[in-house]
Amino acid sequence: QVQLVESGGGLVQAGGSLRLSCTASGRTFATYTMGWFRQAPGNEREFVGYISWGFGSTYYADSVKGRFTISRDNEKNTVFLQMNNLQLEDTAVYYCAAGRNPYTSGAHQGAYSSWGQGTQVTVSS
């Protein structure tokens, strides 16, 4: 198990940017795939993107591709979600997650064993 603490959410105007951070405990952070998910009001939790362990390859949902960027700093046990050109549809609670399930794609919730508490991102017009 790894404990995750998020920060960086807030209110931003459409077209603006935010950077979310997720800091994890544990010496084995670098071996985990780190994912980001979000849940909008009335909707189910949906995949945003992930960054893998090892080579650090990334993958994004089509809805955020080209606007959001995931990175990680293994020395600081932190993963980031840089969100640019935010739109009203991006309003949601954003969750980071950690997992190392070798049989499940990082785009699926089943790949993750630990979740952060969530941080609210609200985009205004």
Per-residue pLDDT of the chain (125 residues; tens, 9 = 90+): 789 999 999 999 999 999 999 999 877 777 889 999 999 989 999 999 999 877 789 999 999 999 999 999 888 889 999 999 999 999 999 999 999 877 788 999 999 999 999 999 999 99
Strand partners, 62: none
Q: How many CA atoms lie within 13 A of 83 on its CB side?
A: 34
State the amino acid at position 74 in one-letter form.
Answer: N
Cβ atoms 11, 125 nearer than 8 A: no
Q: Is 106 exposed, middle or buried (0-12, 13-18, 19+ CB in 10 A)?
A: buried
List the beta strands (DSSP E) in 9-91. Answer: 10-13, 18-24, 33-39, 46-51, 58-60, 68-73, 78-83
